[in-house]
Structures are given as structure tokens and as C-alpha cells.
Structure 1
């Protein structure tokens, strides 16, 4: 086999592939019904991703989506995890849907929208009276002149093209550009969503007041998210506190936080609360939860002990934290401390489980000959941390989309005129706002008729 034969076969194969794409694949991709179905499917799974909690632990899904009884008779934690409904926006099939939908829009733009725009930009002169019969709006004048029409149309914001005894005018070409801009906006939004899903991450941290932390507890992340997790800065929780209502309920909880660079120098300082996050270098820290981290106590004249407190199981009857404090050197006896909030009050139970006393911050009590002083109840801030590098693209795509939608509301209106055999033929059409266009054309025709009558009077007077 010669090189020429090989090259010829490769060219034939490429030609067949190109023809197959053009004749078989493109009609499917540009089918409006396919685009609508994909859009509905994407919307449906997006709703599921909103309803079903994303990025939670296995225990969470086992508790909330048990096998018996299964939600709706089939949705169990096993089904949910197998399909990927715990991280919908990062699954391969959801990303494939976005890519397919974007490909469909791009194909439609190049095969339909751009040719339609190119056709709309061409000057189209009608040179035969029969062509005006196909227009929804048309009229004939016996003694009118084509020369009176350009000024009338220009006053109506039309762009006029005239050649000998023919005229073509148009306005609202931006309405033809609008759908293309809409497609561009949607594609940019999809690219931003895909980029964010591939490179973004979600983390959770529970940090005691006064501690410094780096983001480590990643609960959901894209395959290329490692580069987005900050390694050259950390966050110090200067203080965490809660404002309570007069009835004892939580009004708001706050975290005063400092961002530190690699050398420990403060580069930012903000107080965050619910709906007011801290943003730094593309990472957003939300205030979402709180807890009790520790108590600081002194036994007799001992140094200050900071003892960690752990959440206790109350079977859904509220949140409470507890710890155990030894009151004998051999650790053979101790007392339990329980706290339910950061208002500085703790309950003390002796070794027999009996309530021994109630203390507030700064108060002391005697237990079995030991003086126990409560110095502080240390709170911890619960943070949800997110990074989504695709958000600027998503916002840009949405802005482009809204611009395209606004542009699409402009009507693309066209008017033709022909002067032939002593008669003037005028007609027009538009792609939307038919009633307004009819009124506009009737107004133009009235002005043409008035100009014709005026010319006839001037001629008769002469």
C-alpha cells in the first residue's frame, strides 16, 4: 500500500466522520426537545441536591434515611450513596449532563442562531410586486413616491438602505443578537458550575475560643481541590460569645476572628455571625454552629485546669455538655459538671449522681472538704468553610444571560418598498410585538399617503 493510498483513505474516513456528525449528530444535539428534557432533568437533580443534605457523614444518612422504613418506599441511605445524591453537583453523571446541555447550546448557536443573525444583517431588496403579497402587512399607492419614505423610516429609528427604485429598512437587529448572548451566558454559567465542582471544597471546623486553626476537616471536595485549600494562612478565634434574649433563648452568636499569614502576622480581623461570613483569598467562613469546649476550674489552691467538655446524648431533649473533675489525688472520687449554654451556669453532681450545687462563673463551692471554683465556661465556634473558584464565572454568566434576555425583547422589524410602473409597493414584517408593529406600519403608510396627497396638491397649484 502506497503513502498516497493511505492518505486518500484517511481523507475519506475524515470526510465520512464529518458528514456523519453534520447529518446524524448535529440534528439530535440541536433538537429543542432534547434541550428542554436535559434542562428539566438538571433542574430536577438540582432540587434534589437542595432538599437532600450534601456532604454529610455516613452516620447522618444512616439516621435520616434508614432502610426500614425507606423514604418513599425506596430511598434509603444505601441507594442515596450509590447514586451519589449526597454530593449531586460533583457526580460524573451530573457533570456529564451539564456538558451535554452546553454542547447542545453551542451546536444550536453555530447551526441556527449565527446563520439567522447573518441572514438578518443582509440587505434584501424586493424587486417584484408579487413578493409583497407574502407579507402580513403591505399596501400599494398609485401616485406616491419612494423618495418620501426614507425620512419617514429614519424618524422611526429604522436603518435605511436604498438602491435605484428599491428600498430596505430594518431596526432591532439587537433582538437577533439576544438569543446568542443568552446561549453564551448559559454556557459560561455551566462552565463556572463545572469548574467549581472540580476545584471547590467544603470543610467543617469546631474551634474553641482562643485557638488557632488551619483548614483540615474537608468533608466534600472536587478532584482538583487540593490547590484551593489554604496552606499559607491560618485563623485565630479571638473570642466567641452568644447574645441571649431576656427569656433565655439564643438571639445571635458571634466569632471575632483574625486571619494570620505564614509568619503569624495578622492580615485581617472580622467579627462574623449568621449571614455575615468572613471572606479571604477566595475562601468563605460561615458561622453555623456553636458548642461548649471546656471549663476552667481551680481545686483548692491548685493551678487552673481547663477540662474539655463533651456533648451528651439527651434523646432529642436539648443540648447539654458534661465533664468529670477528680477531687482526690488518686482519682478515686470526683464530681460531674453539666452545662447547657454559655451564660456561665453549671450544675455539679456528686459521685452518687445527686445534684450538689449550681455555680456561676466566679463562684466557689465546698464538696467533701474540697473547694471547687468555676472560673470560666469556654465556648467553641462551629464553622462551615467553602471555596468555589467557579463563582465569578457563574455570576458573570448570569449577568450575560440577563443582558441577552433583555436584548431578546427588542423586535426585529423589516420594511420593504418598490417603485415600479408608477406604483409604490410597501410592506413589512416583525418577529414579535405584532400589534405594535401593525400600528407603526399603519402610521408609516398614513405619512406616505399624506406626503403623496401634498405633492399632488403642489403639482396642481403649479
Structure 2
């Protein structure tokens, strides 16, 4: 790419209007990704976004899937928007902010009184002293350069650096988003107590994501704490991370808002279920039957199983449970309620003694890996620092001593009133000192 073409591309990317347009489109896409459920099944979108009537008259499940609105943050067009916006920020930084900083670092003395008339604030002080002006400015935090009859002072250079820091922070945040979209993944697992699992049920994964298979997780125990009213207070999972040889390398108990992290992967407590029921029939060993969640049409969560009470399976009972507090409801094949049974208790049904040993819970885990998160955190920390830096005023003051007159003038890029008050106070102090010196003389 030759120099003229490169400059035109740089000017186009650095155009503020383009940056605002890109930011607006990214914001709209992000809102869509927040409002529209991400990563759901095809049947979910067909049910919630039918073709007739389509949402807003056009947004059906076919349009939604065609545009990738079911996984907005991983679509090529969304990542392209992030890249373009990042390129716009970089172009603006090097074409506008860096030159502005370089210009601010350059300075020169004012050598003619007429130069002070171009400043927003200037005055003359009869019998004023350039040395006293330098002292007063130094006391206010200015850095001062001075010759015999000329002075230049400035402070707040960090305010010129602030916009560059803000741009750098936004670029870091964009890089974090791109890295997470390309290499991150999310999985969901529903594991009974005592079981060990590898990551298998991947819900979302970037094209460069690497799913770890050299370690596994064992659910040592899952349990739920209930309130006195019988409602769920909190549910817990005691997890162990095992290496390829099955040795424990990390262990922790997780609950909602308290995950376990290992190898860049975070395991969250997300859900629970009843996996199985363990029982005895007469004097048999402990037996186990799986339990399945029943369709209650949104009227609560119930799990059930069928237990044969005769070897030929000609008779049996239905066992229903609603939680892990240890109570099971028993129903006849005709749906008649027979009795309830708690953990450790026994009852006789159809000539068989049934003893309830325990209800086995399953922990629902959401497992995420997002390598871009450190860049996000660094970017937001840098953004806050850059915003604070940007509020610092960059102020400049010039002075010129000519015969019995001291010319003083200055300008600032923000907080104009405060700067004027500061410079007026200095001028009054110098005028007062000159009058005092004249009277003494």
C-alpha cells in the first residue's frame, strides 16, 4: 500500500463519525444479544420466535438463526465490527491523540508583547518581577522554564495523556472480547453425587477453543440447605479436580456466587436435580433406581420412578419426590396416594417391606472458560485511570519582562474558570508585591 492510499485509509478509519457509527451498531448488536436468549436449542427458537406471527413482523426463528442472533458475540460480523472499531481507535490515536500530545510537549517563549493579545487571558503588571512570577507558578505546581526576560510554565501534562490511555483501554477490552469469542467455551453438566466426569456437553465454543480432557472432576457430595419453611436456602457441591492419573490436584466446595477455578476454567453452581433413589426390599442389598423429572406444566418440580414389587413386574408402585429433604410419596398404579416415606423408615406395600435409604442428588454445573477476562479487567482498570487523567487540566502560562512591564498570559484546555481565578490571583499577588517594593523604594 503506497503512502497516499495509506493516509486516506488512516483518515477514514480515524474519522470520528465512523467511530460513532461503529459504536452504535455494536451497541445495538449487544442489546440484541442480551434480549434474545443465546445458545438455546432449535425447538426453543421455533417455539418462541414463530414465523406467523413473526416478532416485529420480520423476526422469525429462520431470520434469527440466519443472522446468528442466537450466538451474537461469536458471529463473524460481530467480530468484524469489533476489529473495525479497534482499528478506528488505533487510527484516531496515532492520527490525532499522539500528535496532540507531541504538540503539547513542544513549547517556545513569547518574545513580543503582541503575542499575548492572542491568548484567552492576559494582563500586564507594572514593575512586575519575572522571578517572582516563576516562584508563584512553581508553588502552584507548574513546571517552569526561564531566561533573563522570558518564561514558560505548564502543568497537567497527564491530561493530554489521558485520552491515549482511554483509547488503549478500549482496545484492550475489544481484544478481550475477540479472544474470548475465539477461544472461550461454555459447558453444562448434570452429575450425580459420587460420579466423576470429563467436559462433554459443550453449549458454546469458539473456533479456536481447546476443551481440556487431561483432567476430570469428581462430585464428592451434593447437598441442599433448606429454610424452616421448607424452601431452598442454598445448594452446595463438594468437588475434586483429578489429574490424568486420578490424583486430586484441587478441591473446593462451591455454591451460588462461589465458583471453583482451575486451569483457566471456572465451575459454577447453576442447578440441581434428583438422580436416583436408593432402597431395600425386605432384606435385599441396597438397590438403586434412576428418577426422572416429571412434566408438571410449570407447577413445580417433581421427580418420579416406578418400583416393581413382584419379580415378574406384574405389580409395582410409583415413587414421587419434590426435593432432597428425604420424603417420598407413594402412589398405586391407579394414581391413588398410599403413604409417604422418609429416609431410614420402612413401610409394607403389596407384601413387601420397602426401606428408603436415601435420595441421590445431582449437581448442575455451568463450566466456562474465557481467556479474554484478564484483558477485560486490565482494560476497565486502565479505562478508569484514563478517565480520571483526562479530567486533569493542561494549563500553560507565558511571561515576558520588557523594561518596567511584566506581560503575563495563559490558556487551558478545561476548567477555564478555575484557571482564570488562579492566574488572576497570581497577577494580583505580583502587583501587590511590586507596589510594596515601590513604596519601600
User: What's the TM-score, normalizing by structure 2?
Assistant: 0.96
1:143 aligns with 2:136: no
Q: Does 1:351 align with 2:308?
A: no
Which secondary structure state, in structure 1, belongs to the residue aligned with residue 229 of structure 2? coil
Q: Are the aligned partners of 1:55 and 1:87 in contact in 2 as well (CA < 8 Å)?
A: yes
Q: Report matched runs for 1:117-156 at 5 Å.
A: 117-156=101-140
The 1:36–1:152 alpha-carbon spacing in structure 2 relative to 1, beyond 3 Å, is: same
The aligned residue for residue 245 of structure 2 is 263
Say whether 1:19 aligns with 2:1: no
Contact residue 184 and residue 205 of structure 2 kept, 8 A? yes
Cα offsets for 1:324-373 (capped at 9, x unmatched): 12222222332221111111111222233322322111222222222222
Q: How many pairs align?
A: 441
Please list every run of 5 or more consecutive structure 2 residues that lacks an aligned counterpart in the other structure: none
Q: Please state how far the C-alpha of 1:63 moved relative to its aligned partner.
A: 3.0
Q: Check conservation: 1:165, 1:419, Cα contact below 8 A.
A: yes
Asked if structure 1 preserves the Cα contact closer than 8 Å seen for 2:125 and 2:427, the reply is: no
Question: What whole-Å deviation, never above 9, does each CA across 1:187-225 have from its counterpart, x for those lacking one?
Answer: 111111111111110000000111111111110010111
Question: What displacement does 1:112 show?
Answer: 0.8
SS at match of 2:100: helix
1:411 aligns with 2:393: yes
Contact 1:26 1:107 in 2 (8 A): yes
Query: What secondary structure, in the 3-state scheme, does the structure 1 residue paired with 2:353 have?
Result: strand
For the Cα contact (< 8 Å) 1:123–1:161, is it kept in 2?
no
Partner of 1:285, secondary structure, is strand
2:360 alignment counterpart: 378
Match of 1:335 among 294, 303, 317: 317
State which drifts further: 274-283 or 342-351: 342-351
Q: Could you tell me how far apart the structure 2 residues matched to 1:140 and 1:99 are?
A: 53
What does residue range 32-71 of structure 1 map to in structure 2 within 5 Å? 32-71=16-55
Write the distance in 1 (CA, Å) between the matches of 2:114 and 2:82: 48
Deviation string, structure 1 residues 46-75 (Cα, Å, up to 9, x no partner)? 222222222222233233333344333333
Q: Which SS does the other structure have where 1:85 is aligned?
A: coil
Shifted more, 43-52 versus 123-132: the winner is 43-52
Equivalent position of 1:231 in the other structure? 213
What are the ranges of 5 or more consecutive residues in structure 1 without an aligned counterpart?
Answer: 1-13
Q: Distance in 2 between matches of 1:248 and 1:64?
A: 33
Residue 62 of structure 1 aligns to a residue whose secondary structure is: helix
Aligned-pair Cα RMSD in Å: 1.7
Out of 357, 367, 374, the residue aligned to residue 392 of structure 1 is 374
Q: How much has 1:178 moved relative to structure 2?
A: 0.7
Please report the TM-score for the alignment, with normalisation by the length of structure 1: 0.91
Aligned partners of 2:129, 2:339: CA distance in 1, in Å? 106
- Aligned match of 1:29: 13
Of 194, 204, 213, the match for 2:188: 204
CA distance in 2, matches of 1:361, 1:219: 36
Determine the structure 1 residue equivalent to 2:66: 82
